[in-house]
Structure 1
Amino acid sequence: MSSDTTPLHFDTKPNTNPMPEADRLKAFENLGFGTLFSDHMAVVRWSADKGWHSAEITARAPFPIDPASSVLHYAQEIFEGMKAYRAADGRAVLFRPEENARRFNESARRMAMPELPEADFLAAVEKLVRIDAKWIPQGEGSLYLRPFMFACENFLGVRPSKEYIFCVIASPVGPYFKGGAKPVKIWLSEQYTRAAPGGTGAAKCGGNYAASLIAQKEASAQGCDQVVFLDAAEHRWVEELGGMNVFFVMDDGTLVTPPLNGTILPGITRKSLIDLAREQGMTVKEELYSFEQWQADVKSGKLKEAFACGTAAVVAAIGAVKFPAGEFQIANGETGETTTKLRQALIGIQRGQTNDSHGWLHEIAGV
C-alpha cells in the first residue's frame, strides 16, 4: 500500500455541458432520494506501482469497464454515505466527515484494498461540494455524497486487485422514506441474515447490501418499509436494519442498542446519538437484545419507543413490527418524545441551527 503522505493535487475540468439552471430548479421541486445527480465527480486512481495518482474533478460520466474488471467478479467495492448541508447562516457544511474517512479505510482494510489518506478523502469531497455548491438544496433537503472505491484490474485470478478507482458523486435529496419523517413499519427476517461473525458486517461494502435485498423485497411484499435482521449464529439477537442501526427506549429512559461486535456497521449517526443522549443525562447500554425480549417489553410496557438511524434517513421512529407469526405496535404507532428530542438535537447541529459544542461541523470555505 502507498505510504506517501504528500497531498494529492486535483486537476479541475469543469463540465462544459452542465444541467440548465431552470431544469435543475424544476427538479428540486420534487426531490426523491438518489435519482438526481450533480454535474461533476471527483476521481482518483490507484495502482500497485504508482500508488494514488491522477486526481481530478471532472464532468460526471460513465466509467469504461472491461468485462474482466475484477469488481464484476469478486466484488471488491466499498462506499460511504455523507451529506452536505446549507446551514442556517448560509455556510456549506459537512457533518463529521473525518469519521467517514476513517471508516472508509477500515472498510478498505477488511476488503484487502488500498487505504486512501484521510486528507485526500476530505479534499475530494470538499472540492466536489465546492464546484457543485448550487446543488445543495435549501430547506430540509441536503446534498447526499457517495464516496466509493472499486477494483478495476482486468484479471480473473482470485486475489486482491492491483488497480482501483476512488470516486465521489453527489445527489441532491429529500426525505429517504416516502412521506417524510413519520414512523416506519419494519419486517423481521427469520429466514435471512445480514452478516456473520468473521464476515464483512462491519465494513461498508456493497455485498452486505446485496445480501439484504431479498429480505427487503420480502419486507416490501409484507407492506413494510424496512427489514430488521437477527444474528446469524442463534437467530435470536436483534442486530440492525438493512441499512440502519436500531435503538430501544425503555420506560426508565434508558437507551439500548446492539453492541458493535463485528457484524454491525459502526454508524456515525449511531455514535453521535449515543453522545447526545448521554449529554442529556440518559443511560445508554450497548448490549444484546433479543427479539423475544423485544416482544415481552412491548407487552409489559417496559419498551416505550424504538427508532432506526443512519445518514440517509437520520432518525426514523419504528411504529410497528411485523413478523411471520404476528405484528405489534410501538408507542401506538407514533413518534415518541425521546425519538423526537434526539432527532431534533442531531438535525439542529447538522444544519447549524444550534450550537455545535462538539466541533462536528466541517465548514467548506469559499462556498
Structure 2
Amino acid sequence: MSTTTPTSATAAGTDGGPVRESAAHAFEVRASDTARSDAERAALMEAPVFGTVFTDHMARVTWTADGGWRDHRVEKHAPLQLNPAAAVLHYGQEVFEGLKAYQHADGSVWTFRPWANAARMAASARRLALPELPEADFLGSIEALVRTDAAWVPSGAETSLYLRPFMFASETFLGVRPAREVEYVVIASPVGPYFSSGVKPVAIWVVQDYHRAGPGGTGFAKCGGNYAASLLPQQEAYAHGCEQVCFLDAVTNTELEELGGMNVFVVGADGSVSTPPLNGSILEGVTRSSVLTLLGEAGREVHERPIPLAEVRAGLEDGSVAEVFACGTAAVVTPIGRLASGDFDLTVGDGETGAVTAWVRDQLTGIQYGRAEDRHGWMHRLI
C-alpha cells in the first residue's frame, strides 16, 4: 500500500491503470463562519448515527449549458436556495453517489475506488440527461472537502466519514426538457454502522406486489426516483418486523434483483456464490464488484446469474442454500438471517452470520481500514 502523500493534482491508488488526475487545486476554500468548536464536534461524533450529523463545509461546482463546469469551491454547509420552479422539484432530474473516507492507524485518510463512483455517476447523469462531471472534478471535490474537514473523520471501529456527492437540475423552468443549469454538491457525515443494531443478521421482506425498476428504466442509475419507489414497500417490510426489502424482477416477478439499497448474494452449501446479473435494472455496486473479485481470487465458484425465488426458498428448506448476504457502501457486507414474505417465513442457515459472509466482510473492511494489503490498488489517499 502506498504511503506517499498525494499532491493536489494526482490521485494515490489506481485500479491497475494510470494515476488519476485530480482537480483539488481548483477548489477555492471559503471557510465557514459557524464552524463547530472542538468540544462541539467531539460531542456530535461521540456516537454517530448514519446521516444525521454533518461537517462544517460542502464542496460545490456549478454547470451551465453556455459556460460548462465552473466556480469550484468548498464553502459553508448551509441550506441550498432554490426557486420553487427549480426543475428538480418537478421532474426529479438528479443523481447521487455514496462513498466513505476511512482513517488508518497512522492517521492517514483514504477512500475506496472513488474512480468507480465517478464513472457510475457519469453513467447515471447520462441516463437522467444531466451533464457528466469529469473524473478529475469528482476526485478533486472529495479531496478538497475531506482535507478541509479532516477533523470530522472518526477513528473508532466501524466508523467512517460518509461522503454524498449529488447533482441536480437547478434551473428555474417548468418546461419538460433537460435543465440548462445544474449544481453538483458533496456533503459529508461522520457515521457508525448503517443498521442501528450493528453488524448482525437482518430480516428481509421479499416484496411481490411492487417493483423497484423495469427494463429500459433507470434501475442501473443511482437516482432518487429509484429509492422513492422503494419506500412504500420498505414500510411494508417494517410492518412485518424486517429491516429491509428485497425486490423481484419486473418481467416475471420470480427472480431476486436487489434490496432497496444493496445488492444481494446467495451462498450454496457447496461453497459456490451467486448474485443476480447486471441486467439494466440493477445498480452496478462498487462493493458488489469488489466482493466478486475477492471471492474469485479465493478460488470460489462465482456466478452472475438469474436467481429464482423458488430456488432460494427450496434451498433454505433443504439446506442447499447456506447463507444470504447483502452489500453496499453504507452497510458494507450485511448478513441476512431471515427471508420472509406473505406466503413464507424462512431462517437462513442457523440465523447467525455465515463463514463466507464473515470472511468477505473481514477481507473488504481490512483493505478499507488499512489492516490488510491493498493488492488491487483500490485505496485512494486523501490526507
State the one-letter code of the partner of 2:133. Answer: L
Of 172, 185, 202, the residue aligned with 1:184 is 202
Structure 2 residue aligned with 1:228, among 227, 246, 266?
Answer: 246
Residue 327 of structure 2 is matched in structure 1 by: 309
Alignment of 1:93-104 (within 5 A): 93-104=110-121
The one-letter code sitting in structure 2 at the alignment partner of 1:226 is: Q
One-letter identity of the residue aligned with 1:43 = R
Determine helix, strand or coil for the equivalent of 2:80: coil
For structure 1, the residue ranges without an aligned partner over 5 or more in a row are none
2:31 is aligned to: 14
- Which is worse superposed, 195-204 or 84-93? 84-93
Alpha-carbon distance in structure 1 between the residues aligned to 2:173 and 2:336: 45
Count of equivalent residues: 361
Give the equivalent residue in structure 2 for 1:329.
347
1:152 aligns with 2:170: yes
- Which position in structure 1 is the counterpart of 2:260? 242
1:326: Cα distance to partner? 2.2
* Superimposed CA distance per residue, residues 203-226 of structure 1 (whole angstroms, 9 cap, x where no aligned partner): 000000000000001101111000
Question: For the residues of structure 1 that align with 2:38 and 2:106, how far apart are their CA atoms?
Answer: 23
Amino acid corresponding to residue 325 of structure 2 in structure 1: F
Is the contact made by 2:87 and 2:169 (CA closer than 8 Å) also made in structure 1?
A: yes
Aligned to 1:105: 122
**Normalising by the residue count of structure 1, what TM-score does the alignment of the two structures yield?**
0.97
**Aligned equivalents of 1:19 and 1:292: distance in 2?**
53
TM-score w.r.t. the length of structure 2 is 0.93
* Aligned residue type for 1:61: A
Runs of 4+ deviating beyond 6 Å: none
Tell me the amino acid that sits aligned with residue 363 of structure 1: R
Give yes or no for contact 2:319–2:349 (8 Å, CA) kept in 1: no
CA shift at 1:88, angstroms? Answer: 2.4
What is the DSSP-based 3-state SS (H/G/I as helix, E as strand, rest coil) of the residue aligned with 1:332? coil
C-alpha RMSD of the superposition: 1.1
Identity %: 53
Q: Look up the equivalent residue of 2:207 and give its one-letter code.
A: S
Q: Partner of 2:4 in structure 1?
A: none
Q: Tell me, yes or no, if the aligned pair for 1:349 and 1:356 is still in contact at 8 Å.
A: yes
Q: Please list the CA deviations of residues 144-167 of structure 1 after superposition, one character each: whole Å capped at 9, or x if unmatched.
A: 000000001111111100010000
Q: What amino acid does structure 1 have at the position aligned with 2:135?
A: E
Given that 1:89 and 1:352 are in contact with CA atoms closer than 8 Å, whether structure 2 keeps it comes out as: no
Equivalent-residue separation in structure 1 for 2:56 and 2:44 (angstroms): 14
Residue type at the aligned position of 1:10: F
Is residue 2:44 matched to residue 1:27? yes
Could you list the per-position Cα deviations for residues 6-64 of structure 1 after superposition, in whole angstroms to 9, with x for gaps in the alignment? Answer: 95822110112211211211122221100000000001000000000111101101111
For 1:276, the equivalent position in structure 2 comes to 294
Match of 1:139 among 136, 151, 156: 156
Map 1:1-367 → 2, pairs under 5 A: 9-140=26-157, 141-364=159-382, 367=383
> Structure 1 pair 326/23, CA: closer, same or farther in 2 (3 Å)?
same
Distance 2:121 2:99 in 1: 11
Unaligned regions of 5+ residues in structure 2, if any?
1-20
| Greater Cα shift, 308-317 or 86-95 | 86-95
Contact 1:212 1:242 in 2 (8 A): yes
Residues 40 and 132, structure 1, Cα contact 8 Å, conserved in 2: yes
Deviates more, 1:203-212 or 1:81-90: 81-90
